[in-house]
Copies of this chain bind each other. A is one copy, B any other.
Amino acid sequence: MTEYTKIMLDESDIPTQWYNIIPDLPSPPPPPLHPGTHEPIGPDDLAPLFPMDLIGQEVSQERYIDIPGEVLDVYRLWRPTPMFRARRLEKLLDTPAKIFYKYEGVSPAGSHKPNTSVPQAYYNAKQGVKKLTTETGAGQWGSALAFACAQFGLECEVWQVRASYDQKPDRKTMMEVWGATVHPSPSEVTEAGRQILALDPDSPGSLGIAISEAVMQAAPDPDTKYALGSVLNHVLMHQTVIGEEALKQMEKVGEMPDLLIGCTGGGSNFGGLSFPFLREKLAGKINPTIRCVEPASCPSLTKGEYRYDFGDTIGLTPLVKMHTLGHDFIPDPIHAGGLRYHGMAPLVSHIYELGMLEAEAIHQSECFDGAVKFARTEGILPAPEPTHAVAATIREAVRCRESGEEKTILMALCGHGHFDLRSYKAYLAGELSDYEYPTEKVAAAMERVPVISEA
């Protein structure tokens, strides 16, 4: 009989505030710039797309922001989420390391994404907005926003990348069950979509095109706004409920991590788990190493440059300072669709530059090899994105076996792979490609990044 495997919290342990790391940092992140003037943007520049409460959170200097009761009432449907000690995986690996994981796959949409879709929908509804538009690649974010809109009586219109729309019909149906309208992107609905289709009627689409369609639909309509599922400061802040709960759970069993591991695509799952631990580290209370894991074929932190670039492929968004592989770089078709992003959250990028984070890149076949080991011992089938965290955790646990170190590892398991079994099938059939890092493609994309003269 073991002492604990699953570490539960009570409903009263759900955090009642989000944590904003910015005031605790030794320097603030550089401001977003207007794409035309290259001057820092103001709230008015963002008002056509976001409600004022979220714009306020994006630039807030407050360390804590109260979570509205209406949002907590929805969080209660799946929060607090469980933390597990991966005893069966430890045994398989014969490691002296203690492996813990915080599991966000118990949310209705199956990932951490509802932690931010719910407050985003709430603040929009509060401001009288009637409809939200968004893009979705893997389908996780579109599902999360569809669910959240259903909770607050908002319409939801999603542009799903054509390739995903065709390959993942179940994600589309899930969004429709929650009441959303789903278009393949490129679509005939927007001017951007029509232009692309005129050039290539069979276009498989891209996240960049889908963002353009969702933004173009929202911007001119005062009753419609746009929602983004990662990258922005307020999104990462909403996700800190993960880390706040994880701190309580580690304390509950008298442990504290020596090492935190999370996958990074846009950075929201990683920031959500790690920022509360970083706060404690900055306060000198704990001293964990904090490690980002990214795909070897799309390694924005380990190979990208830290400079101003667009958040979308076409170049409609403000310029943000981040690690980037070039805004029009199209990553190879790895299965972790949520990590196929040319950039990294400006906040994660900034903290990485401050030397407070490590990063490593792993190929997808090693990730799925780890995921199958994980599924056979811990039961859960990870989504392709967190298989990167699983593989990095296994690497570390094996190092501990060799060194004899009794390291305590905390891993972010941000979602389940119930809608991603096609990728497991490809792995089991030996059909998974490890795309090498495309040096020349990235160099070419970086040529097209605008040159900003910084003050």
Which residues of chain A have a CB within 8 Å of any CB of chain B? Answer: 1-2, 4-11, 69, 72-73, 76-80, 84, 87-88, 106-108, 110, 147, 150-151, 169-170, 173-174, 176-179, 372, 375-381, 418-419, 421-422, 424-425, 428
Contacts and interface: CB of A to CB of B under 8 A. Distances in A.
B147 A428 contact: no
Contacts of A78: 6, 379
Contacts of A376: 150, 177-179
Contact of A428 (B6, B170, B176): B176
B77 A6 contact: yes
A369 to B, nearest CB: 12
28 contacts: A1-B69, A5-B11, A5-B73, A5-B77, A6-B76, A6-B78, A8-B9, A8-B10, A73-B88, A77-B88, A77-B379, A77-B380, A88-B151, A107-B379, A108-B381, A147-B379, A150-B375, A169-B421, A170-B421, A173-B422, A173-B424, A173-B428, A174-B381, A176-B428, A177-B375, A177-B381, A177-B424, A178-B375
5 residue pairs, one from A and one from B, having the closest CB atoms? A108-B379, A5-B76, A170-B421, A418-B418, A173-B421
Residue of A107, A176, A372, A421 contacting most chain B CB atoms (<10 Å)? A421
Contacts of A5: 11, 73, 76-77
Contacts of A380: 77, 108
A263 B88 CA distance: 33
Contacts of A88: 73, 77, 151
A92 to B, nearest CB: 11
B72 A1 contact: yes
A378 B377 CA distance: 30
Nearest to A371: B177
Nearest to A72: B1
Contacts of A69: 1
A6 B11 contact: yes
A257 B271 CA distance: 42
A169 B169 CA distance: 13
Contacts of A151: 88, 377
B11 A421 contact: no
A378 B107 CA distance: 11
Contacts of A80: 8
A61 to B, nearest CB: 27
Contact of A11 (B4, B150, B169, B418): B4
